[in-house]
Every structure is written in C-alpha cells, then in structure tokens.
Amino acid sequence: MKNLYLLLPLLFFTNIIFGQEAPAYKQHEVELGFGGAKSFEKNVFNVPDDVKGSPDIEGNMAYFYHLNEQYALGFHIYGFVQSKIPFMVSQNGIISKVNLELSSLNLGMQGRYFFSSQRFSPFVFAGINLVSGSVTSKETGTLNHSGFSVCGGTGARLKLGESFALSLEALASLGSANWKQKPFLNSSGREFNPSLISLTLNLSYMWGDPEESQF
C-alpha cells in the first residue's frame, strides 16, 4: 500500500519529463489493476469471537467507451480476496480448525469524467453494482452472498503513448449483502457488509479512433 502512494508524485514528475501534449483520445479502453483494500466487515459469520474482513489483495477490471475526451461510460468488476482464514467449526460433534477463503466482488456500470485532455489528467468516477461473493473450504463447502453497492472515487491517469496509460485511483464502495443461509447454526443473522475502500494501480490499453468508430 505505501509504495502505491509514492506513485502519484512520480506521475507528476514523469509528466514534466514527457511534456503536456497528449495523443488524440481513443474510443475503447480496457483496464486491469491490483492494489490494497480495507474492508468494513467486522463480523463475517455473525458469531461470537468472529473474524474481520482483511483483504489480501484487491483487483479491478473494466471496459470504457469514451464519448469524447472527457466523458466515458463502461462496465467494471472489482473486489477482494482473503485467503487462509483460520476458524473453528463443529462437524458431527467434532470441533476442528479449517482454513476458509473469502471473496467479494462488485459487478456494475461506471461513469468517468476527466478534468483535462492532456497527457496527465485527474478524473472522478461513480458507479452502481451488484455484489456477489463466497466463503469456501474443503471441509465446509461453499456459501454465497449477494447484494448491491454504489461506488465513487478519484484518480489520475498518465498516457504513455497512443495505446497505453497508467493510472492510480482511490475508490470508496458502500453496500449491503446477505449470505444465502446462515453461515453457522449459532450465527445471529445472514448479513454481510461488502463496503470497502481501496487504492489501485491500473494499466490500460486503448484503441479505436473516433472517426473510424461504427457506433
């Protein structure tokens, strides 16, 4: 996480070196990124002595259609994975320790606004999503959760040429979800909080000149 925060000053410095003039915008963009996240879920299974949501890694994938140099609409999927969660479970009267894996993903639409058409450009975005996730292990099988969320954030993008760009973005996602059934017999409910904040480093590939588009 700390290393990602150092990237923003580097983007400004790189912008000074390569100058302000930017290539003409492309209409299509795919984005892939990874980073760190903080989960707001403090009681994953709704039981006493519960575990917290502590993401190992956050990931982001997106496709954007650029309406012009400043506005873009697209689809995205983002979320986190938390692996090897130690937990004590009772099966057939025998209490044993198992390692669970938790994942929670947000799939939806995003609108994005760029403040500048230059090579370096800050941007803001907002989106609405469906939430889908699971907790699984060999011993207990798989339990799914579903719900909805909204998100928003800000970032900065540096075009590396006509087809590639690097960006750093901060996201806040708020939502609500429920497990398909109670995780354990002594769970007090089925609620799961998919809300998170994250910082992600993304690499984008762009193509398609506006005058050549068939849309």
Domain CATH code at residue 182: 2.40.160.20
- Report residue 105 as tokens: 């993903």
User: Does residue 167 form part of some domain?
Assistant: yes
> What average pLDDT does range 154-164 have in this prediction?
94
User: Does residue 24 form part of some domain?
Assistant: yes
Structural domain boundaries, residue 143 = 2-207
Distance CA 101, CA 19 (A): 46
> What average pLDDT does range 59-64 have in this prediction?
98
User: Does residue 213 form part of some domain?
Assistant: no
User: Does residue 214 form part of some domain?
Assistant: no
What is the reported pLDDT for 213? Answer: 46
User: Does residue 197 form part of some domain?
Assistant: yes
CA–chain centroid gap for 156, Å, is 16
pLDDT tens-digit series, residues 104-127: 999 999 999 999 888 999 999 999
User: Does residue 215 form part of some domain?
Assistant: no
pLDDT tens-digit series, residues 24-60: 789 999 999 999 999 999 999 998 888 899 999 999 9
